Every structure is written in structure tokens, then in C-alpha cells.
Amino acid sequence: MAIRVTFLLVMLVVLPFPSHSADPDPLQDFCVGILNDTSASINGFPCKPTSQVTSDDFFFDGLTKEGNTDNVFGFTATVGNVLAFPGLNTLGLSMNRVDFAPGGLNPPHSHPRATETGVVIKGKLYVGFLTTNNVLHAKVLTVGEMFVVPRGLVHFQMNVGKEKAMTITAFNSHLPGTVVLPTTLFASMPPIPNNVLTKAFQVEASVIDDIKAKFGS
């Protein structure tokens, strides 16, 4: 009985507070970020004074150019987040352009602060994400088809066509954050000790050294 009353009291205290699944709502029309102002530590960047805001603050051409895919993965994500486009500051959204060479892979990664959606603009992509129960949801998508990756889940895209491919992705955060599994695990600074990784992956240290060497650490 006492437990039930305590539970009810806890629910009464907690329920009135709304939970936010992404960035908080803005408190003004806009807050063009001043990225290099470190005088205050706030949730987002300080706002440029309205008198100094110009139309240019609300336009961004950073996603117009094809990214260079000449790297081990054969892909490049060009980001349109608050760091590249300060006009997005506090507005709770951002976009990427992801280019793929034939066979290119956007390796397994996750975004701790955002759900991602995307549309294939060019080519054919094998797109997938994994649930927290290790279930893979994946499909080959062609031009115009969309996908969604629930917040924080590990996902990837691979170009399975013969030509280049490209997708535009969108996020419900001005700075979704990206944890790229291969580089997080094998190229961190300082490195994760080998005995952690040999135990985690059940392989010899030489295998871990080989993978670390590929990522330059």
C-alpha cells in the first residue's frame, strides 16, 4: 500500500513536466549563433544582436557541391548544422548532404541528439538501422525514396548501384552529434587499451593493432 501511494506521488510530481525528444523549442523568432563567443556557457550559441542580422544569415549554400569521396570509405557527409550554418542556432533542425562513390559506405554510426530522415537524390542505396534488440531494418532505396532512423540508433548507407549516389538527410537537432563506430572504437585519442578491445571483440591483439593501424592510431 505504502509503495503504491509513493508511486502515485512520484507520478503526480513527474507527469506535469513535458519531455522533449529533440532540441528545446526556440524562445524567439531566431537566434543567429555567434560561434566564437565563449564568454557565456549556454545550451546553444549566444545570439547575434538583431541589429546586426542580415538576410545572408538565413541562407546556406554549403550543400550545393559534391563532397570528395576519395577516402577509405568512399563517402563524404557535408554538414549543414549550426556549426556550418549559424542561422540554425536554437531552431532544432539541420541537414546533411552525403555523397557516395560506387561501393561507398557511410559506416555504422549514430546521432545521440536527433532522429534522422533522408531522401535519395541520386543512385541506389542500401540503407539500414539496428534496434536496441539488434534487429536490422534495411532496404535498397532508389531516387525519391525516404528513410527514417530513430534517435540514437546505429545506422549506415551503402551505395549498391554502379554510379555515384547522393542522399540529403535532415535532423531534429541543430547539432545532432555523430558517433562513428569504427573511428570511435579504433581511432580515439587517447586510444582504448587493446585488452578492452580484444575482450570486447574476442580476437587477438594483432587484429586490433591491424584495425587501429588502418585508422592511423
Binding site for Mn ion (CB under 5 A): 116
Residues 6+ apart with CB under 8 A from 16: none
Indicate the angle between helix axes 205-214 and 194-201, nearest 10 degrees: 110
Cβ neighbour number for residue 69 with a 10 Å cutoff: 19
Minimum CB separation of residue 168 from Mn ion in Å reads 12
User: Does 115 contact ligand GLV by CB under 6 A?
Assistant: no
Minimum CB separation of residue 20 from ligand GLV in Å reads 21
164 Cα distance to chain centroid: 22
Residues 6+ apart with CB under 8 A from 157: 75, 98, 100, 105, 106, 118, 125, 126, 127, 128, 167
In the list Mn ion, ligand GLV, none, the entry touching 98 (Cβ below 5 to 8 angstroms by class) is ligand GLV
Determine the straight-line distance between the first and last CA of the chain, rounded to whole angstroms.
Answer: 58
Helix (H, G, I), strand (E, B) or coil at 107: strand
**x/- contact string, 33-72, with ligand GLV (CB under 6 A)?**
----------------------------------------
What's the rounded Cα separation, in Å, for the pair 75 and 125?
12
Minimum CB separation of residue 183 from Mn ion in Å reads 14
Residues 69, 76, 89, 96: which binds ligand GLV (CB under 6 A)? 96
> Taking CB under 6 A as the criterion, which residues in 143-182 touch ligand GLV?
155, 157, 169
In the list ligand GLV, Mn ion, none, the entry touching 172 (Cβ below 5 to 8 angstroms by class) is none
Looking at the Cβ atoms of 98 and 197, the one nearer to Mn ion is 98
Minimum CB separation of residue 121 from Mn ion in Å reads 15
Helix (H) or strand (E) holding 203: none
Query: 10-14: which pairs have CB atoms within 8 A and are 24 or more residues apart?
Result: none
> Where would I find the H helices in the chain?
2-14, 181-186, 194-201, 205-214
In the list ligand GLV, Mn ion, none, the entry touching 69 (Cβ below 5 to 8 angstroms by class) is none
Minimum CB separation of residue 155 from Mn ion in Å reads 6
User: Does 98 contact ligand GLV by CB under 6 A?
Assistant: yes
Looking at the Cβ atoms of 48 and 174, the one nearer to ligand GLV is 174
- Give me the residues that bind ligand GLV (CB under 6 A), please: 77, 96, 98, 106, 116, 155, 157, 169
